[in-house]
Chain A
Amino acid sequence: MTRKWLRWMPAVAVPAVIAAAALAGSLPASAGDPLPAKTPAEVLALVAQHTAPSLSGTLEQTSQIGLPELPQAGASSGSGAASVLELLSGPHTARVFLDGPSNVRVQVLDRLAERNAVRSGDQVWLYSSKDNTATHLTLPAGAGHSRDFGQYKHPDAGMHGVMPTPEELAERLLAAADATTEVAVLPEVNVAGRAAYNLVITPRTEGTLIGSVSIAVDGQSGLPLSVELKARGQEEPAFKLAFTSLTLEAPDASLFAFSPPPGATVKEIQVPAHGTGPLGKGHRPMHGTESGVVPDAVDPGAVPPDAVPPDAVEPGTIPPDAVRPDYRNPNGGLPRPTVTGTGWETVVEFPASPASAEAGAMVSGDPLLQQAAVAVPGGRLFSTAVVNVLFTDDGRVFAGSVPADRLLTAAAAR
């Protein structure tokens, strides 16, 4: 009898070993060398001074922001807004290859399909394997630096035409944010096998939907490794974007040489040439008042050399009070919005205009979006765990990371 039981031992032991291994694997791996302790300002400075890296990595995104689950495969056939929503909702895996600021390749790995964005210098290709279409555009000169760190800096910083040091910048950001926001460095975390500082930003107010924002900053390079957005009262992150693997080496140069495959439908998009992006626009008047006529070509502040690449990790570095709509939308797709409230409780109002009417019509027209937007007194409310958008019947649009009734109050006030 005992002999018989002995024979069954492996059948018991093997699952036990696997369960133990799975448990051990899910525990946070203890990092070898603890990182030196840093204050939030020092961590921010570390982020600010990190140079354009060469890296290959895999990004994983999960989101539970309360959007309806859209079918993953339907990405390329839907409208533009639907495909953006599709990217924001549900899980996604993407591979990112960076070589300096101007060689970028992002591959969104769909099931049995792939979406590619390749940038080499000023040449940009978008390719979708699902419908075998390629889109080509040529970036206007200087556009590569439109998202450099300078545009997030405190408005005062540019007055002297001198780039502040990262440390100064961090101090100023923290000082400006302190009234509304608590910034802390929590015990270090391990992201993609790398020890990282865990910078946690918590709003001091109750009047926002945002619970906290955590950014994991690589202890060695200062590269943000993950961004995690938690809605108030939610245990699971509403949105998380994190590297699952990362090597800080230059990827194969052939990855950035893209030409449309034979048989693909190729579309050309003309990009209107305009200045040097928001930074250029913001700077030139300042220099004009300061030192008379400064030719654009030698404008010293326009393009700092340590431009941050336009990778998707960066948004986490934007302090809440720096996200002003006029920075986001320099080309004026929507009319200039009005902002009420401060800090985390900011409500942005877009007055009635053809563009906002178009957006409203899109919400009520698209069946998928319609499902997400609910009718409220005076309009339709597009509600997620972290952002609420109200389309009023008279064509105005209100948006903010605030409870829905605050948007309704704001809409009723005018």
Chain B
Amino acid sequence: MTSTDGAVDVRAAEPPSGRPSSGWPLLASELTVLFRRRRTWAMMLALAAVPVLMAIAVRASSAVPPGRGPAFLDRITQNGLFVGVTAMLVCVPLFLPLTVGVVAGDTIAGEAGLGTLRYLLVAPAGRVRLLLVKYAGAAAFCIVAPLVVALAGAGIGAALFPVGPVTLLSGDVITPEEAVVRLVLVAAYLTVSLLGLSAVGLFLSTLTDVPVGAMAATIVASVVSQVLGELPQLEWLHPWLFSHYWFGFADLLRQPIAWDSFGNNALLQAGYIAVFGALAYGRFVTKDILS
């Protein structure tokens, strides 16, 4: 065991046993590993490419008539900040769940697949803490991913199109500074939206030693949830689907802001975190770690 310690030395920096360790060093190392990964960078670049491609396409073509393409697309030419909103809208159904699914599905199964999991668990009571740290890492990615889309969109929009007062859905006009605040709020909304999916991914990740399986299962879960949400026959089920409020971020673009959907969404996602967190706990602490 000692011979392989070097392979995981980054994360083995644990305080001496005897008092409960805080887990902060573990979290720091988890975040470092996550955001140093080339895969994470590739995913963030892919996300940033969405607004860039969109802005260039709109810039190169003639004006988009209202009501065609995704919502807000016709506003881009008038105001570059709308690139951020439109790009987030486009990313919500597939790209964001896809990247989050990869990160969340990889959490436990990735370590198991690499054979590094048991070295992470040498400390007593390490499993719960490791689960928390892994989830915190996935949550950090949920914070970063929508922000990348929003900021890349606002940046490319400001570069290619005029930036001025922004028209909200209600027809009221706000200053660009306020609009940036709204943009960050929308990104925060999407972060909250993705936390439930991350919890599902964490649980799925404890079930298997094959990270690709957990990633695929998480992405499938997000697709299934959205498909079920489209079926009117299952209307009773809709408020319980974690994707139910995903498009509710438009409520942040009204005047005054309708906070109801933000609150409902947060409550729903908290429920998913509780249920799938408990499931992941039950599975992970009773699991025989063989790798």
Contact = CB atoms under 8 A, between A and B. Distances in A.
Interface of A: 4, 7-11, 13-15, 18, 58, 69, 76-77, 95, 107, 109, 111-114, 116, 125, 127, 129-132, 134, 245, 252, 255, 258, 260-264
B278 interface: yes
B167 A263 contact: yes
B67 A77 contact: yes
A17 to B, nearest CB: 8
Interface stretch (B17-25, B140-148, B281-289): B281-289
B275 A14 contact: yes
Interface string B253-279: 011101010000000000100110111
B5 interface: no
B71 interface: yes
B16 interface: no
Contacts of B6: none
Contacts of A264: 167, 171
Contacts of A14: 274-275, 277-278
Contacts of A8: 282, 286
Contacts of A260: 171
Contacts of B277: 14
A112 B169 CA distance: 8
Nearest to A263: B78
26 contacts: A7-B285, A7-B286, A10-B281, A11-B275, A11-B278, A11-B279, A18-B274, A76-B67, A95-B258, A109-B258, A111-B247, A112-B72, A114-B254, A116-B171, A129-B170, A129-B171, A130-B66, A130-B71, A245-B260, A255-B255, A258-B172, A260-B171, A261-B167, A262-B167, A262-B173, A263-B78
Q: Nearest 5 pairs between A and B by C-beta?
A: A10-B278, A261-B167, A127-B171, A8-B282, A11-B282
A112 B89 contact: yes
A132 B250 contact: no
B169 A113 contact: yes
A116 B254 CA distance: 11
B256 A255 contact: yes
Given A10-B278, A107-B254, A113-B250, 19 more contacts: A9-B282, A10-B282, A11-B282, A13-B278, A58-B258, A77-B67, A95-B258, A109-B254, A111-B247, A112-B72, A112-B250, A116-B171, A125-B171, A127-B171, A129-B170, A252-B256, A255-B255, A261-B171, A263-B167
Contacts of A9: 282
B251 interface: yes
Contacts of B165: 262
Given A7-B285, A11-B279, A130 B170 contact: no
B237 to A, nearest CB: 13
Contacts of B170: 107, 114, 116, 127, 129
Nearest to B67: A131
Given A69-B232, A261-B171, A112 B286 contact: no
B275 A114 contact: no
A7 B206 CA distance: 14
A264 B78 CA distance: 11
Contacts of B232: 69
B74 interface: yes
A132 B275 CA distance: 43
Nearest to B171: A127
